[in-house]
Structure 1
Amino acid sequence: MSTEMGEEEGKEPVAVDEEPSLQSVIRRISVLISHSNSVKVFHGKWQLIRGKLEELNSGLKAAENCEFGENFMFSEMIHDISVTVNESSDLANRCINLSYSGKLLMQSDLDIICSQIDFHLKKLTGIYNSGNLTLGSAIVVSKPSFGCCKDDMKFYVNDLLTRMKVGGSDMKIQALKGLSEVTMEDEKYVKIVIDTGEIVGILVEFLEFTEAEIQEESMKTISVIAGFDLYKGVLVGAGTVAPLIRVLESGSDLGKERAARILQKLTENSDNAWLVSAHGGVTALLKMCTTNNGDQSDSISPACGVLKNLAGVEEIKRFMVEEDAIPAFVKLMRFKDESLQINAIEFLQLMASGDESIRRIVVREGGIYSLVQILDPKASFSSKTRDIALRAIEIFCFNSSTSLSSLMGYGFLDRLLYILRSSEISVQESALKVGIRLCGISEETKKAMGDANFMPEFIRLLDARTHEVRELASEVLSSMTSVPKNRRKLIQEECNVSRMLQLLDPGEEKSGNKKFLLSILMSLTNCNSGRKKIAHSNYLKNLEKLAETDVSDAKKILRKLSTNRFRNILNGILRS
């Protein structure tokens, strides 16, 4: 402290406790922090001092839960802190009363106080790290109750911050657990963590620690923060990406999983894709996905998720192809873990979108066979996995006659029929869409589907619970009945024609798509048995109602029926 301050006229010497206790110093720092709020001058300086005092106080409170016995270094430090507190209180009083000699001199004195508090913080950290203090039973202060005031929440977070800074490994781990717990429970804590800017920096520093548990616990809180779009930029700006990638390369299995999940959240923003690539993230992620036997699915699945996010950048996509990502992901489709299969299929779909060369690689590496195997009735795959496999088959197989031929050779029609008969609605929708695509290939494919008994399933689905399935079923039936052989199969069942006519009733609860139903009925009028079935149905009136409302297809069907009735009458007259 400057000489001038000590020589100030009328100034009484500062009284310092000869042997201040830890509790008394903590109490006096709390009073000083509160008292300093009354200072109206040198606002920035006092704000800095208050922050350092709060940090020091939290560190000393952590020491209350430690056993330090006759530790001389600690006792000496408490005495020095007491002196600093007294000097700070004196400066606060002079600033409040505006009784200082000059602004420059006071600024200098406040800078000295800041340096002294910094020195105490470093010394306290050194004592903790030396192991001279041992933890007592109450390591972390009580967590505030839910709905507590913001000040209590901030106090708790600051206390955890100090423990993370000055504590040994055990104390750091306990503080990290406390921080992840509150941020997961209440997002208000996340904002406090962000506002207390130092915490994010410390969490990022912990990613470089050799202790796996410290890495893993710090990533729990980082992952929570990464779940908020508003704060992703804060994490990226704090340098989170590079150490996360190093964890992917050499961390524990749990650390790799958590690092991958964080990167998956961060790369949902495509702007961060290049940052991950620049730090070697693509190579690290591909290695995770390709140099394993599927026994680390917890970490591989989010790694696949990151790569899916990165695949939207064309240059990164080409690099992944060059690194043989496609064969590796085809291999992943064969693993038993369904989350891996789903991620692998979705990655390959994304990579192959609009890229015929990648589609050819997938086919060449046996991707079609792997997809068909997922549809095997004997396999125990979920509806979600089967649904994704069907969608992938559409992408990989319907733009090439060779691929389509391979698909049929693997018994795809039998698998597709099984899906239609037994699956959930979402999978049935996908199966019907594939059926429509198949019908668009050739007349021979339609005949093959008819021979495989697809018609009864399509007719059954005209009564499905959802409008989408009913509409798709009527559309595929409309395409199927353009083949005479399939029309005959449909007419053989007495109830089929009547059911379609019944569905033309606007009051029918499961009314199908009228356009496709009328198209089917129009096809049926091309044969005598079809015309007879329509003409003799109890639901012919529904067709007549549509004709009365000027529905052209309904009129055409009735015209064909009327024409043939007239011909029958004429033939009867001629024969008589």
Structure 2
Amino acid sequence: MNPPTPSKPSPPSSSSYSSPQTLLALINNILSIVLLSSLTIKSFTGRWQVIHSKLTSLGSSLSSLSSSPHWSENPLLQSLLPSLLSTLQRLSSLSDCCSISSFSGGKLLMQSDLDMASNSLSHSLHDLDLLLRSGVLHQSNAIVLSHPGPCSSKDELSFFIRDLFTRLQIGGIECKTKALESLLQLLSDDEKSASLVAKEGNVGYLIHLLDFNNYGQNSIREHATAALSVLASANDESRKCVFEEGGLGPLLRILETGSMVLKERASAAVEAITADPENAWAVSAYGGVAVLIEACRSGSLVTQTHAVGAIRNVANVEDIKNSLAEEGAVPVLIQVLGSGATSSAQEKAASCLAILASSGEYFRALIVQQRGLQRLMHSMQEVSNSDTLEPVLRAISSLSKLDPSARLLSSSTTFIIQLGEFVKHGNVVLQQISASLLASLSISDGNKRAIGGCMGSLVKLMESPKPVGLQESAAEALVSLLTVRSNRKELVRDEKSVMRLVQMLDPKNEAVYSKKFPVMVVAATVGGGSSHGCRKRLLAAGAHHHLQRLAEMKVAGAHKALQRLSGNRIINTILGRTWRE
């Protein structure tokens, strides 16, 4: 004999209860009824076993809820509890229909109704568990999303973030929008809060909100994208969190198909994420190379700037580097240099071209084929910002390794003169690259005379221990310019430069790490015909004594330079008289 089925109360209307306590009492009452009736089910028993397991879990969650000290104060329960009550009432009705073994109704319809009720129950369980795990039910004053003040403690800020993300995941569209607005305000007011958001919040859910089909609300996607952009840009910890939670792929999709505002925010996030070399490889895995190139080609100025930055970030990854060439990145980067792009975009494009040009002859030939060298040379005339000039000159330097490029650069008087100006007035990076180019290019005597005025700066650069290679580049550039007689005369007329050069020969002077460099310059200064005046000035400044010591120390080139300096008997007579005096 079957046990008697408990009588079921008629479902109350929403107006018959108002307080959370009343709602919870009704839910517990009907839950006990449905739990009991689910044990006597005769039809669709497989589905009811799953539902019974969920109902048991629900009982445990409701027990934890009622034991929380401030559960009734949370406004999220105002929508969660009525929804749960409605689901249980539906299950109660369905259990009546399934209590007989020979179900005669529409089986497919019943299966669908049971699945829908079971899914609804799962959603309620998820939201309840989320509330319980967040800890917000154990603290009062969680009714209003009040923004923490500047003196708030870390614990208060952590609670605010947990409460905020709880509302974001459980609430409706209006609640989600307000939660996102509060999150953006928090990130805007306090940059340090990004790490705490990454730790206490659910960044994965923020990424979930980027789904174009979610809620049909552009504002939600815009706010979520903006928040992720800030988190990705704030610091290493929050950027790592966005990447590890799978944010790069959805952000690239938004960059491909989103609105202009969404693309701008997504591009900033992608650039920030790819700034970490450990993340850059993933761009290729998500098919992001073509997306970035298209954003660079047709995006707004903001989007273009960030997209070029992301391309620059990934250009050092070997596989992606090849994809950049295959997808046509080079002509797009060259176009950015010559378009109305922002100065930041131009600097990043030049930097990317410099990376590619330094990668090998294939990329150098590709850039030259697209008239990239001419565009880079023109950029030198257009920009004055050293942040842009540095990568432009680095790219030109790499391209100069191709013979056709070297001939074009060597024959350009404008270019050579500008190198001389960089040597005199540029920062140390521009000085080093310019000196290196002057040393390697086959410059005409006329152009060497035109930039003779930079020789004093080159002598001064020979005293600089950093960056590595600067002393050598400056010395080699000087040796090249001193093949012209008028430049040799001009150098020795510069008393400061002569004194610097002689002081660098002194074995006790440790500023120049290799004495062969000043020896090279002295040898070039007194070389060639009609160098009597040059030798006389260097002798008078004391170069002979230092060269003699360096020759004894077997410094490369010192003996030959000493022979050139000693010249003839007249000079030797002058030298003897000078030392006696």
- Whether the 8 Å CA contact 1:62–1:163 is kept in 2: the answer is no
2:456 maps to which of 456, 459, 470: 459
Larger deviation: 530-539 or 223-232? Answer: 223-232
Quote the Cα distance in structure 1 between the aligned partners of 2:65 and 2:294: 45
1:536 maps to which of 525, 537, 540: 540
Secondary structure of 1:375 counterpart = helix
Equivalence for 1:360 = 365
**Letter of the structure 2 residue corresponding to residue 427 of structure 1:** L
- Whether the 8 Å CA contact 1:204–1:239 is kept in 2: the answer is no
1:332 lines up with 2:336 in the alignment: yes
Judging changes above 3 Å, is the alpha-carbon distance between structure 1 residues 386 and 268 closer, same or farther for their aligned structure 2 residues? closer
Secondary structure of 2:205 counterpart = helix
Secondary structure of 2:209 counterpart = helix
Quote the Cα distance in structure 1 between the aligned partners of 2:271 and 2:80: 49
Quote the Cα distance in structure 2 between the aligned partners of 1:349 and 1:436: 20
Q: How does 1:493-512 map onto structure 2 within 5 Å?
A: 496-505=497-506
1:212 lines up with 2:218 in the alignment: yes
What TM-score results when the alignment is normalised by the length of structure 2?
0.67
Q: List gaps (5 residues or longer) in structure 2.
A: 7-15, 25-56, 89-118, 131-142, 575-581
Equivalence for 1:418 = 421
Q: List gaps (5 residues or longer) in structure 1.
A: 7-17, 27-43, 65-72, 84-113, 126-137, 571-576
1:434 lines up with 2:437 in the alignment: yes
Larger deviation: 383-392 or 229-238? Answer: 229-238
Larger deviation: 413-422 or 274-283? Answer: 274-283
Q: How does 1:9-408 map onto structure 2 within 5 Å?
A: 21=19, 61-62=74-75, 77=82, 119=124, 140-143=145-148, 145-146=150-151, 148-150=153-155, 152-183=156-187, 185=190, 187=192, 190-191=195-196, 193-197=198-202, 199-208=203-212, 209=214, 210-226=216-232, 229=236, 235-236=242-243, 238-268=245-275, 275-291=282-298, 296-336=300-340, 337-376=342-381, 379-402=382-405, 404-405=407-408, 408=411
Deviation for aligned residue 1:301: 1.9
Q: Deviations over 1:219-241 (max 9, x none)?
A: 23323443555566654554423
RMSD (Å), alpha carbons? 4.8
Judging changes above 3 Å, is the alpha-carbon distance between structure 1 residues 384 and 309 closer, same or farther for their aligned structure 2 residues? closer
Judging changes above 3 Å, is the alpha-carbon distance between structure 1 residues 121 and 25 closer, same or farther for their aligned structure 2 residues? farther
- Whether the 8 Å CA contact 1:433–1:472 is kept in 2: the answer is yes
Q: Aligned pair count?
A: 480
Judging changes above 3 Å, is the alpha-carbon distance between structure 1 residues 385 and 221 closer, same or farther for their aligned structure 2 residues? same
Q: Deviations over 1:420-479 (max 9, x none)?
A: 3333333223222222222xxx4xx2634422233x312234336954466643342134
Equivalence for 2:520 = 519
What TM-score results when the alignment is normalised by the length of structure 1?
0.67
Q: Deviations over 1:167-192 (max 9, x none)?
A: 44443233123224445636566356
Secondary structure of 2:348 counterpart = helix
Judging changes above 3 Å, is the alpha-carbon distance between structure 1 residues 51 and 267 closer, same or farther for their aligned structure 2 residues? farther
Deviation for aligned residue 1:284: 1.9
Judging changes above 3 Å, is the alpha-carbon distance between structure 1 residues 118 and 57 closer, same or farther for their aligned structure 2 residues? farther
Quote the Cα distance in structure 2 between the aligned partners of 1:298 and 1:395: 29
**Letter of the structure 1 residue corresponding to residue 474 of structure 2:** A
- Whether the 8 Å CA contact 1:397–1:407 is kept in 2: the answer is no
Judging changes above 3 Å, is the alpha-carbon distance between structure 1 residues 536 and 201 closer, same or farther for their aligned structure 2 residues? same
**Letter of the structure 1 residue corresponding to residue 455 of structure 2:** F
Deviation for aligned residue 1:305: 2.5
Quote the Cα distance in structure 2 between the aligned partners of 1:79 and 1:525: 97
Secondary structure of 2:568 counterpart = helix
**Letter of the structure 1 residue corresponding to residue 517 of structure 2:** F
Deviation for aligned residue 1:395: 1.0
Deviation for aligned residue 1:334: 0.7
- Whether the 8 Å CA contact 2:195–2:238 is kept in 1: the answer is no
Equivalence for 1:447 = 445
